[in-house]
Structure 1
């Protein structure tokens, strides 16, 4: 699918229009493209952007995510605050429950947006947010094209097979579209980034810091008892389950978290990372004897057409760029779902990378340095998980699960949680951050 002129169309200006390939159309990719086309410079100087996405079927799915602190500033710059808030899940907070569904503690969401609790005031399904951000990118592209610019080319259901670079270009070979060359390539293709593997080679080996946890996400038919609160159940054997609202009347979402300190799951899944049948079978086995909504959970796993299973990990790299290739979002600095910061980091990264590239249009090395300088402090804070996390919340014994619920109850009844949320919530509350002169068209 293409919505733009040929890749290498020139301009009458002294400086040729840059060709930038963005690999990945999740959260960060469309935001980066939108902001790159929102520079105050003349439309003839705006870059030609190509967005490459391997699996368009996955764009509309995904688990509950949140937007915090600096992320909210960025969606406001994009003019999407109202649209996003109209499609949130409406989650009211989180309840810690036992096998009989008794509530041991409950922590309400802070709807003012001033305090960062476990439930943000902007909770949304990842797929819905991706659709909104992609829609914005398409509208901005159409506007740029109408004014004589290049806009965005969308290449869907294709992937990179090969990548190499010289001093002037990055040369890629796509499975379907063949060989192409770009001035810059941005890898925004997630935790298991193909771009990172191709550009870094063996230098990226060991960059994944495994947290010895796996997660399985899927949705299920909503029941009347589900309500608008997140229910979080902790089972012995290092497993927990979250049941959450989706923002719709007919669907709830589920997340099963599995501790893997022994490495047994990792060994079983090695070489079968995309085998959904094997993944479902493994999760079904783990759910045996869970005692909380066991039949419902198993039926939901079997029926799910949005089932997603993966390890939880962080990405640790000394540098996020190599030559003319740069990494964005989880591909460069995944903080893991336990940080509560994945979406916010993706938005902030797209904002700072776009601003840096616009500030240094002919000096990508300086742009990449500025991008890292502005993002490193936030990423470093986000990757510092609380002591004992995530295994502290995934005990291996019956008595360990009981003690965890007692601990959560004590925190709740003592009101200490209010102080912790105010002073030690997710590290997203950036009051001051570098400003760039983006000109994002306001839509009515």
Structure 2
């Protein structure tokens, strides 16, 4: 790459992690983000397996642990709030459904962002509108700022990636919907959670959940439902909330309180669940990272691991390829593909296991959950959770925070 300027679209976990490692390798990095600032709040994400190893190699694990949310584990409840099944956080060596280290998405993103400034240029409140590739680089046009030239463009902009649409084609060609729609938001409510991530199922494929936030009196709430494809305006939050209110009317448990809190939540977010599948994550000088290239869905609990590991591998391969981005992107695909393929395998039951459609299915799911720490369920679930660490991470020799970054791109593998 004669031009070592790299543009990353998306300042989420994948984008900021990549910016971190690229700067350690000596690249010049710009990140463009549609939001006006780093996105705060959000739900908790897991630090597990190889993702935890990457954060450790960054030298940020102590700070991540200090930001982690104190949760006892996952508990299923009935309409009266009685716990019917539970799985403690220390099950499966601290890497079960609720892992030992759970951190709010915004907190992890901010930690990574802070580790990249001032070495990284951030352009907020803007987005890419066009990509024009040639043999020497990519001319990028933006919604608000003037065109710029880069040696490589990375799409780390999530399930609905703009970069993927521009370089690889329409979303419908690459996103496989699971038939689940979910809203996440923060509620300031006095719910008696006793430290548990509580989940309540209602026949018809409805799921309501509440878990402790990091701050006192803060609840991280979720409302999900299974459905055939629906059409909605992604910008019309009020209409999305009206739809959820209709779907969850009369649902019981703490749902009425959650619905009231939903209306005033400043971080309300609604989206469909889907997996992203592509035969290749690179098209010329454009490459995809994290959810943009291989979203596994929240049901796997591995999206954060894929983002962190993918960022580390992509940066490491670019640093090791002696300036040939084609070799780097091929090696990135070869290293990540087996890990991604395993991570995208849904846990037993898939969407139906998460949001059962009948009262009988809900009872059977509770029974299976009570059996998770016993044979044979334990072996099945242990294999699922072990996927987070099922990759041999290369040592690219990239320095961590506090160490001197490479003066040029050429770190050894």
TM-score band w.r.t. shorter chain:
over 0.9
Q: CA deviation at 1:109?
A: 0.8
Distance in 1 (CA, whole Å) between partners of 2:253 and 2:4 is 55
| Structure of greater Rg | 1
Q: Which runs of 5+ in 1 are unaligned?
A: 1-14, 40-45, 142-151
Q: CA deviation at 1:61?
A: 2.6
Q: CA deviation at 1:428?
A: 0.9
Equivalence for 2:113: 134
Q: Deviations over 1:291-324 (max 9, x none)?
A: 1113211111111111000000000000000000
Q: Deviations over 1:369-407 (max 9, x none)?
A: 010111001100011113431113322233333343344
1:375 to 331, 336, 355: 336
Q: Is 1:289 matched up with 2:269?
A: no
Distance in 1 (CA, whole Å) between partners of 2:367 and 2:22 is 50
Equivalence for 2:226: 259
Distance in 2 (CA, whole Å) between partners of 1:221 and 1:138 is 32
More displaced, 125-134 or 218-227? 218-227
Query: Aligned runs of 1:50-65 on 2, under 5 Å?
Result: 50-57=30-37, 59-65=39-45
Query: Aligned runs of 1:424-439 on 2, under 5 Å?
Result: 424-430=384-390, 432-439=392-399
Query: Aligned runs of 1:355-370 on 2, under 5 Å?
Result: 355-370=316-331
Equivalence for 1:144: none
Distance in 1 (CA, whole Å) between partners of 2:250 and 2:37 is 34
Q: Give yes or no for contact 2:372–2:381 (8 Å, CA) kept in 1.
A: no
SS in structure 1 opposite 2:116?
helix
SS in structure 2 opposite 1:131?
helix
Q: Deviations over 1:268-298 (max 9, x none)?
A: x1xx122111111111111101111132111
Distance in 1 (CA, whole Å) between partners of 2:21 and 2:32 is 17
Q: CA deviation at 1:57?
A: 4.8
Q: CA deviation at 1:190?
A: 0.4
Q: TM-score, normalised by structure 1?
A: 0.86
Query: Aligned runs of 1:195-210 on 2, under 5 Å?
Result: 195-202=163-170, 205-210=172-177
Equivalence for 1:168: 136
Equivalence for 1:440: 400
Q: What is the aligned length?
A: 403
Q: TM-score, normalised by structure 2?
A: 0.93
Distance in 1 (CA, whole Å) between partners of 2:242 and 2:299 is 25
Distance in 2 (CA, whole Å) between partners of 1:352 and 1:35 is 9
Q: CA RMSD in A?
A: 2.0
Q: Give yes or no for contact 1:115–1:425 (8 Å, CA) kept in 2.
A: no
